[in-house]
Copies of this chain bind each other. A is one copy, B any other.
Amino acid sequence: MKQVKIGIIGLGARGVVLLPSIALISGVEIAAVCDAYPERVERYLELCKKHGYTPAIATGDYKKVLEQDLDAVIVSTTWTTHVQIAVDAMRAGKHVGLEVGGATCEQDCWRLVETSQETGKFCMMLENCCYGDSELTVFNMVQQGLFGEIVHATGGYEHDLREQIVTGGERKHGRMVNFLHRNGELYPTHQLGPIAKLMGINRGNRIVSVISAASKARGLHDWARRNRPGTDLAEADWKEGDVVTTILICANGETIVLTHGCSLPRPYSRDGRVQGTLGMWMEDKDAIYLEENVPQDGSNPDGEHEWTPMAEYKKQYRHPLWKEYEAKGIEKRGHNDMDYLVLCAFIESVREGNPPIDVYDTAVWMAVTYLSEQSIAMGGAPVPMPDFTCGAWINREAERPSKYALSSVYGELFGDTEEKNENY
């Protein structure tokens, strides 16, 4: 198996979290690490040592990383710095794995797309929940037609991060500056990822418009006033609405509703919901409802109101990736499951090309951020999603068949696509 040499640019909390997952993947060499803060570089080198890596270069200048002989880089810097680094990396002949950061403008998305096209290097969004256990189970069931035709889905990033946002914390104010200055769907990739894959976005379907509305911003001010009285933070003027609701309308008629909420007290939720003509999944219920399971013999007249726990369906429909993952017992090692699986997909793609999440996916998911900012700024007016495939979405082929492929059953999913798939 070909050894894959990677560099990691951005060694903050996210870079640290990824390391144990990378360490579980065989044939990977971390050859370069980079962060603007020297103390982070120090810490990371120690962590690398613990995991058996000895990066040849550790630097504060990402351009030095790009000069190295690497197959790929992972970019886990602050939100608004990803695009330039990714573009430079592709130009330097490296594939790119991108951590979170919605786009600030349309042009940034085009730069990613065009640079990937020109260089032949891919740009894969790593920050998403495509490989979550429940998400993959639902994906598997949708592939098998159990939900019928999909018409609606929801997803969210609902996470009480008030202390971290207000005080900056480990992340060196990455979120703070965005919440102080922007008002929009700042974290779309998390749950849009699996929904977009489910709906065949960029492969027979696309998002055509974005509508967004923000509630008032009260949570951070209220928290800071109570927990940091007498400081500047207590009087800061946060712009990000506490709950941002975004509606995406798709070419094939589906609607997707995203909810972003990190500044009010609440338990964590990804707000997952997938609805089709035959059934539905709801994450907050941790349950599924399929019409076919309602007895039709009249013995259970209220049966239509009963959810079946997700665990029941996982027995039968858990995705093969997760079955294998569980069988390996590596779940026990305490790292983040989704991170591990998406990184496996990333490394596989570096070796064999044709990633399951490509630059068109990356561009569309990131674009939701600036589009929602625009829509909110215009009172909720719908704004058009650019077609970053320039029309290719209509007939784009399914992904290369692969263990980690996320849309290889495209033909099954979208009905009369035999013609579209003739090259497959």
Binding site for B on A (CB under 8 A): 148-149, 151-152, 160, 209, 211, 213-216, 218-219, 222-223, 241-243, 245, 247, 249, 252-255, 257, 261, 264-268, 275-280, 282, 284-285, 289-291, 294, 304-307, 379-382
Contacts and interface: CB of A to CB of B under 8 A. Distances in A.
A245 to B, nearest CB: 5
15 contacts: A151-B264, A152-B243, A152-B261, A160-B304, A213-B249, A216-B254, A222-B278, A242-B275, A249-B379, A249-B380, A264-B280, A265-B278, A265-B294, A267-B304, A268-B305
A257 to B, nearest CB: 5
For the complex formed by this chain, how many copies does it contain in all?
2
Which of A215, A218, A241, A243 lies at the interface centre, i.e. has the most chain B CB atoms within 10 A of its CB?
A215
Given A245-B255, A255-B214, A275 B284 contact: no
B211 A253 contact: no
Nearest to A306: B267
A304 B265 contact: yes
Given A213-B255, A284-B282, A265 B290 contact: yes
B247 A277 contact: no
Nearest to A290: B265
A134 to B, nearest CB: 16
Contact of A151 (B216, B282, B289): B216
Contacts of A149: 218, 222
Contacts of A294: 265
Contacts of A266: 275, 280, 289
B289 A243 contact: no
Nearest to A225: B277
A165 to B, nearest CB: 14
A268 B247 CA distance: 23
A307 B267 CA distance: 7
Given A215-B152, A379-B209, A275 B267 contact: no
B264 A222 contact: no
Nearest to A149: B218
